[in-house]
A and B are shown apart, each in its own frame.
Chain A
Amino acid sequence: MCCSSFPGKPIFSVDIHPDGTKFATGGQGQDSGKVVIWNMSPVLQEDDEKDENIPKMLCQMDNHLACVNCVRWSNSGMYLASGGDDKLIMVWKRATYIGPSTVFGSSGKLANVEQWRCVSILRSHSGDVMDVAWSPHDAWLASCSVDNTVVIWNAVKFPEILATLRGHSGLVKGLTWDPVGKYIASQADDRSLKVWRTLDWQLETSITKPFDECGGTTHVLRLSWSPDGHYLVSAHAMNNSGPTAQIIEREGWKTNMDFVGHRKAVTVVKFNPKIFKKKQKNGSSTKPSCPYCCCAVGSKDRSLSVWLTCLKRPLVVIHELFDKSIMDISWTLNGLGILVCSMDGSVAFLDFSQDELGDPLSEEEKSRIHQSTYGKSLAIMTEAQLSTAVIENPEMLKYQRRQQQQQLDQKGATARETASASSVTGVVNGESLEDIRKNLLKKQVETRTADGRRRITPLCIAQLDTGDFSTAFFNSIPLSGSLAGTMLSSHSQQLLPLDPSTPNSFGASKSCTEPVAATSARPAGESVSKDSMNTTSTPAALSPSVLTTPSKIEPMKAFDSRFTERSKATPGAPSLTSVTSAAVERLKEQNLVKELRPRDLLESSSDSDEKVPLTKPSSLSKRKLELEVETVEKKKKGRPRKDSRLLPMSLSVQSPAALTAEKEALCLSAPALALKLPIPGPQRAFTLQVSSDPSMYIEVENEVTAVGGVKLSRLKCTREGKEWETVLTSRILTAAGSCDVVCVACEKRTLSVFSTCGRRLLPPILLPSPISTLHCTGSYVMALTAAATLSVWDVHRQVVVVKEESLHSILAGSDMTVSQILLTQHGIPVMNLSDGKAYCFNPSLSTWNLVSDKQDSLAQCADFRSSLPSQDAMLCSGPLAIIQGRTSNSGRQAARLFSVPHVVQQETTLAYLENQVAAALTLQSSHEYRHWLLLYARYLVNEGFEYRLREICKDLLGPVHCSTGSQWESTVVGLRKRELLKELLPVIGQNLRFQRLFTEYQEQLDILRDK
């Protein structure tokens, strides 16, 4: 069948959606590039084609300024990337919040059945973008261009560029990823094919020999990698003056074989995503045959050949399928169908039977082969595998059903949403759109600006879907600290479908010589009636009934230019007097145009003013850490030097020698020390904001009142308008406050604590050495002395939490400084050091525990993206998050380590997650403990670690039957363990492999509940 959006306009690219329900084409539009998304079912089924209710075209996007050279769906099917002569790559995502609509002004009555919204524009190339390709795991998007470069984009964080691959000396016209994600290959007009490593983005090899005789004669050079990863097949190569497709073996990049037979240059090669094996014939001996791959080759000679790697001759050759060169090929995911597009503006569909191609390997078989070849375990069961597992007990069955039902419900809900949105009379706030429209003019808010201009506030009739992560995702402004997490988690959704596409090995195909009946594939289906599939071009003719004056037809041509010539901005109301000035302006403009002409010529063909400002939304996330900390820490105004309590604090460790230089009062003298922290010097007065909500601040005035020659210091505290004050006899060096207490440290080494109303809670505490830093959280007071000892008291309960603990053990290194101090809600002190490490003091063990390390290589290697829960769970905040900062780094590093042995990654990930759980526990941060524990458990479930999972469950459940001798605590950091277990079980239930574990604990929980 043939279809075309603009008859005769070339179609440069075609790609079938992974779910097989639609496909995209890219090419030349009216006066722009055009991307069209088509419905697949009319192509596959004749009945659907005839059914007028089934739309053929789903959406068309003419946002590209010039011809679209390539369209590619992400492996997840969620995104479509398109690249064109306008140097841009656009990434599209389906917008679910709106129903069908027409493109305003596009004359025809064609509706866009689906809405695809451009969520990101990638600008970097300085020339036409020729090809784009998503990496197998969808974390990267590669693009190549006539600017001789290949750019690797971070698909998790557009528009970040991970690497620009330079080395080609000619137009790069094709890209393909190694299915294992270890390499990417590019082919260019410089007569070379280059393979790049994804580990360091450096050149692995450059292959030139087969291309020596090639001329730069093809528009594209779309090469392809076999699904098992063993073979890379180039586009246009030459062998003995004949055009070929060169086969390059992964082993040693050998170039011994090629596909020969096309009369003109090969433009496109595309491997079938499936690996096949010989169909087992009934009765014949079931001798296992080697798996093989299938490959389609398209050429400028307008013919298509399909090859099986086990055959020496092509399976089928279809001559003169089109009027012009073949430009792109796409296989259906089941491997039995193929779409081919041509420069002549048509797309052909061919289908094969299993008899012709063979039996596709199941996902399970693929995994097995895959595992044996590349050693990457696929512990995560794919859906296909899951469906084959036997559900052993009714509880599990119930659970699985419930889940399915939930999914269905969700789908139903979305469908309903779509449906309601699609009905013409949508409802906004219970009011129908029709009603709104009737009263819009009366209702709309109109004001006058300062300069007297009318300003209308538009009525919002629909909001963009907020559940759509892409708005935040592609936004240039860091919306919240959890952004990175959001990205990662949404990415993990994309990651899941990765597995089916992962490579598999097949044996040496050359040995398979059994002949296969090479039945020629038939171009299936009849041509679709052109009218239905066409977008009619804008008819310029006007209906005569309206225009009754034929004499006026002539001037209408003059009008035509008026529709397209752009005006310039005009401030102010219509002024009718400035015609002359306008004329002058016009002259000026013409001059400008002349000046710019040569440049314009260099720009691409579009007549509209092109702007490709390569705007990169400003960088994200740099400020993230600070932002987060600010939200948790109390904000504080005041003099700079008082910032010692505020965050980036730097307490230098001084040598004892420096000590002597310090002038100090006698009473302040401290014992000889190895460590010395700076002491805040006395000030006349200072102010300290404790919190902004409720507004609370402390004012200190030293030596204000003289009573009989004695100077007193005044402490004043204002809280939400109410204030209290008190006086002290010694000069106040530093102060701190929380919502519960206010404390001050004085020159005479005393520490005084007051209630929020100014009542003294304790007689002055004598510190062992002068104060260095004072800190309050809740009812906890922390004092860090100049002698580098730390004490924490709970003033309400009047107990010591940490008693004069030396920082010596953590500051032992010579030039380390404390960069940040935290006191958690539970009175756990945390020291962030300048070397990126953070320690907390565990009062029950009396130990300093390392809770965070910026240089932690575990964090950088850990890859638990697949276990990340929904986005909101990443909003988890707490002391651990403050200390560590949330970096998207881990994910990125992990992505780079994609080719690292899976076992290594598993180990690092486990170690990292266990560290996190333990750290959260030590910090007594219940929220974070729960978060990390669930994450850890999810990872254990995904990767299939039963022992550890069982241990966790066992501890959480505790003894089912009460026994007095039990040491088991029913809570952990304030969380009920059995509640945690209840949360955990559904996670475990997701992997059928653990159904026994699931059942076991579910039953025991049920017993406990019934008791």
Chain B
Amino acid sequence: MAKVSVLNVAVLENPSPFHSPFRFEISFECSEALADDLEWKIIYVGSAESEEFDQILDSVLVGPVPAGRHMFVFQADAPNPSLIPETDAVGVTVVLITCTYRGQEFIRVGYYVNNEYPNPELRENPPLKPDFSQLQRNILASNPRVTRFHINWDNQEDRLEAIENQDPVLGCGLPLSYTPVKGLGHQGGIPSLLPENSMDCI
């Protein structure tokens, strides 16, 4: 079971101008002290068409995390407008908050974001080239989409030990359970060996 469960994410200062930073107040509960930090990320989806336009607004380590309930505010700068396709600047898109532990994502909170001109005139006749300074960002805070993933919260050594400790007769049925799923297993074990330049490719 997940050692960390997110209790709430409050969207602060919403709606707000396009250029103002994102602020999320995140409360979570940890059932057992964590050996490593949690890594939180805010990902802004530039275009529904392609993941290439995703921007990681910021990533932050959170720790140390003892058992208990905790909260913090995650603030990240607004997305870089130049990386957003002009056709997608106005309208609905998505912002994602993800959390990983030892390189494994265990929760993803998604919000729909609506970017529109508050000015009725602009709304009627939007400029060809989007005017980001006039855009207002509205996060649909009331409807977070939460996806939880099951990850390995214990480290590699523990797992190996667990295998050794198993009753050998059981062995035949076991290997399946140890399959490192989708190549995440090794990352979980030795995060320090991850290439520094690898980028999120959701």
B162 contact from A574, A578, A616, Cβ within 8 A: A616
Chain B nearest CB, measured from A503 CB (Å): 32
B69 contact from A437, A460, A574, Cβ within 8 A: A460
On whether the beta carbons of A570 and B162 are closer than 8 Å, the reply is no
A609 contact from B92, B181, B191, Cβ within 8 A: B181
Chain A nearest CB, measured from B124 CB (Å): 12
On whether the beta carbons of B71 and A592 are closer than 8 Å, the reply is no
Docked pose: A562 CA to B202 CA in angstroms? 8
Q: Verify if A558 is at the interface (C-beta below 8 Å from B).
A: yes
Q: Verify if B17 is at the interface (C-beta below 8 Å from A).
A: no
A90 contact from B1, B7, B75, Cβ within 8 A: B1
Given contacts A458-B62, A461-B69, contact A126 B170 (CB under 8 A): yes
Q: Verify if A962 is at the interface (C-beta below 8 Å from B).
A: no
Chain B nearest CB, measured from A553 CB (Å): 8
Interface size on A, residues (CB 8 A): 98
Docked pose: A462 CA to B69 CA in angstroms? 5
On whether the beta carbons of A611 and B109 are closer than 8 Å, the reply is no
Q: Give the chain B neighbours of A48 by CB distance below 8 A.
A: none
On whether the beta carbons of A460 and B145 are closer than 8 Å, the reply is no
Residue of B nearest to A32 (CB): B148
Question: Could you say which of A100-108, A875-883, A916-924, A991-999 contacts chain B?
Answer: A100-108
On whether the beta carbons of A104 and B144 are closer than 8 Å, the reply is yes
Docked pose: A124 CA to B194 CA in angstroms? 32
On whether the beta carbons of B201 and A441 are closer than 8 Å, the reply is no
On whether the beta carbons of A456 and B72 are closer than 8 Å, the reply is yes
Docked pose: A118 CA to B1 CA in angstroms? 8
On whether the beta carbons of A572 and B197 are closer than 8 Å, the reply is yes
Q: Give the chain B neighbours of A121 by CB distance below 8 A.
A: 1
Chain A nearest CB, measured from B47 CB (Å): 8
B92 contact from A118, A166, A547, A567, Cβ within 8 A: A547
Q: Verify if A1003 is at the interface (C-beta below 8 Å from B).
A: no
Q: Verify if B184 is at the interface (C-beta below 8 Å from A).
A: yes
Q: Give the chain B neighbours of A63 by CB distance below 8 A.
A: 1-2
On whether the beta carbons of B70 and A574 are closer than 8 Å, the reply is no
Chain A nearest CB, measured from B134 CB (Å): 16
Q: Give the chain A neighbours of B150 by CB distance below 8 A.
A: 65, 606, 608-611
Docked pose: A567 CA to B202 CA in angstroms? 4
Docked pose: A124 CA to B100 CA in angstroms? 27
Chain A nearest CB, measured from B104 CB (Å): 7
Docked pose: A63 CA to B106 CA in angstroms? 13
Q: Verify if A589 is at the interface (C-beta below 8 Å from B).
A: yes
On whether the beta carbons of A569 and B173 are closer than 8 Å, the reply is no
Q: Verify if A631 is at the interface (C-beta below 8 Å from B).
A: no
Docked pose: A187 CA to B132 CA in angstroms? 68
Q: Verify if A583 is at the interface (C-beta below 8 Å from B).
A: yes
Q: Verify if A142 is at the interface (C-beta below 8 Å from B).
A: no
Map CB proximity to A onto B131-144 as digits: 1 under 8 Å, 0 otherwise: 00000001010111
Q: Give the chain B neighbours of A462 by CB distance below 8 A.
A: 68-69
Q: Verify if A947 is at the interface (C-beta below 8 Å from B).
A: no
On whether the beta carbons of B75 and A441 are closer than 8 Å, the reply is yes
Docked pose: A586 CA to B200 CA in angstroms? 9
Chain A nearest CB, measured from B120 CB (Å): 11
Q: Considering residues B52, B68, B103, B138, which has the most beta carbons from chain A within 10 angstroms of its beta carbon? A: B68
Docked pose: A440 CA to B174 CA in angstroms? 47
On whether the beta carbons of B49 and A564 are closer than 8 Å, the reply is no
Q: Give the chain A neighbours of B149 by CB distance below 8 A.
A: 566, 608-609
Q: Beyond A542-B112, A558-B48, A615-B154, list 6 extra A-B contacts (CB 8 Å).
A: A126-B176, A462-B68, A464-B68, A546-B138, A549-B116, A579-B52
> Can you offer 21 A-B residue contacts whose CB atoms are under 8 A?
A101-B7, A126-B174, A164-B167, A455-B60, A457-B62, A458-B65, A546-B138, A555-B91, A559-B94, A562-B110, A569-B102, A570-B41, A576-B80, A576-B83, A582-B198, A583-B52, A586-B201, A589-B182, A589-B201, A592-B182, A616-B161
- The residues of B with any CB-CB pair to A shorter than 8 Å are 1-2, 5-10, 23, 25, 27-28, 31-32, 37, 39, 41, 43, 45, 48-49, 51-52, 55-75, 80, 83, 90-94, 96, 98, 100, 102-105, 108-110, 112, 114, 116, 123, 138, 140, 142-152, 154, 158-159, 161-163, 165-167, 169-170, 173-174, 176-179, 181-184, 187, 191, 194, 196-202
The 10 A-B pairs of least Cβ separation, nearest first, read A105-B146, A126-B173, A569-B103, A555-B48, A582-B201, A458-B70, A574-B56, A563-B110, A462-B69, A558-B48
